[in-house]
Amino acid sequence: MQSDTTLENYLGFELGASKDSADLRTTIGALAIAASSLTQKVAQGSLIDMQDSIELVAFSLFEEQARELPIGLLLSEGFEKPQLQNPDSGLALTIYPLEGRTDIEAAMPFGSLFSIYRLASPASDQELSAATMIAAGFFVYAAQTLLVLSCGQGTAIFALNTATAEFMLSREHVNIPQKRREITIDTSNYRFWDSGVRHFVDDCISGSNGPLGVDYEMGWRHSLVVEAYRVISGGGVYIFPDDTRPGFENGKHKLLYEAAPVAFLIEQAGGKTSDGYESIGSRSISKIDSCVPFIFGARDGVDQVLEYYGNDPTETTRFPLFESRSLLRN
């Protein structure tokens, strides 16, 4: 498609003209309006140093749009339970209006996520499965507001034209690059990880002189959507494992609102996802607040991580990452 293709035109071409396709186009279009409105609010400057204000505005904008949509079931990170909406609709919508809120006061990028499922029966409060997801996306609010979207036929990237308030196609059929040696993981949690994860990080830090024989770049940013965009556009691997801290035994990211939609986009872009043992795309979602360990990225990189994950070598207490940086060592 041409670079001057609007989101509306793209959806018309990708989805066709059936009733279900029209409902899907309407839903994605409404979410794009909410994201454009949030971009405008943030650009005004009055909210940028007020996390709570931005959060309230984001929830209000997305849920206001969602209330009028032709969907049967609405699930929002701000709701305690699913909301039944249109009894004749066979679609379910999940929205996470504001992700990465801790970065807002530092003027760092943040985002919003959504996913759309086909229900087994209209407007029923039922268990969702990643296998029934038909579309997913996230918005990144940065120097330019971006939309990463998949309707099950590959992953595309759009950029917001603020003059027209339209999202314009930037790239389609995106494929995650292989062989990029970049790992995103929060090493401040090193001491809480399974030994297999620690040993993987140790071997990455050892670089070309270690068993992997390659020099890695490593870093960490708080926003999942920012990291997901970086991986989709440039490659690498993201890892947030389970650990021994209270509340993190099953990882950090919510399966319904974060891991499942990002996994859909990653896999549609030729990448791979895992909770350490199985694909995120193969999991059912029985609780709206359940969390999951999350590994995603280029297939070769994820496969390498999984060779270590859950593998418990003989040593379980070595901490060379911190030992080598001790202020008491010569």
The DSSP output letter for 259 is I
Confidence check: pLDDT of 144 > 80: yes
Interaxial angle between packed helices 19-43 and 7-15, expressed in degrees from 0 to 180 and rounded to the nearest 10: 160
Q: With 80 as the cut, is the pLDDT of residue 141 above it?
A: yes
Pairwise pLDDT comparison (100 vs 190), residue with the higher score: 190
- Rounded to whole angstroms, the Cα distance separating 118 from 31 reads 18
CATH number of 182-323: 3.40.190.80
Of the pLDDT bands very low, low, confident and very high (cuts 50, 70, 90), residue 328 is: very low
pLDDT at 247: 93
pLDDT in tens, 221-231: 889 999 999 99
Q: Which two tokens stand for residue 162?
A: 């603020």
Q: Give the rounded percent of residues in the chain with a pLDDT score beyond 90.
A: 60
pLDDT one-digit tens code per residue, 169-196: 999 999 999 888 899 999 999 999 999 9
| pLDDT for the residue numbered 103 | 66
Interval 3-23 mean pLDDT:
84
Q: Which superfamily does 7-171 belong to?
A: Fructose-1,6-Bisphosphatase, subunit A, domain 1 (3.30.540.10)
Using the CB atoms, write b or e for 135-144: b if 16+ within 10 Å: bbbbbbbbee
Closest by Cα among 201, 220, 221 to 211: 201
Burial 319-330 (b: 16+ CB within 10 A, else e): eeeeeeeeeeee
The Cα 40–Cα 61 span in angstroms is: 12
**Each residue's pLDDT tens digit, 123-140:** 555 567 777 899 999 999
Out of 77-86, 99-108, 194-203, 314-323, pick the least confident: 314-323
Inter-residue long-range contacts of 37-42, CB under 8 Å, 24+ positions, other chains counted: 37/61, 38/62, 38/112, 38/139, 38/141, 39/141, 39/145, 39/160, 39/162, 40/162, 40/165, 42/141
Instruction: Give the pLDDT mean for 141-159.
Output: 95
Q: Which of 10-24, 105-119, 128-142, 237-251 shows the highest mean pLDDT?
A: 237-251
**Residue range(s) occupied by CATH 3.30.540.10 in the chain:** 7-171
Tell me where in the chain the CATH 3.40.190.80 domain(s) lie: 182-323
Work out whether strand 237-240 and strand 182-184 pair parallel, antiparallel, or are unpaired: parallel
pLDDT tens figures, 33-48:
999 999 988 877 655 5
Beta bridge partners of 138: 113, 148
**Who has greater pLDDT, 70 or 323?**
70
- Total-model pTM: 0.90
Mean pLDDT, the chain, whole residue set: 86
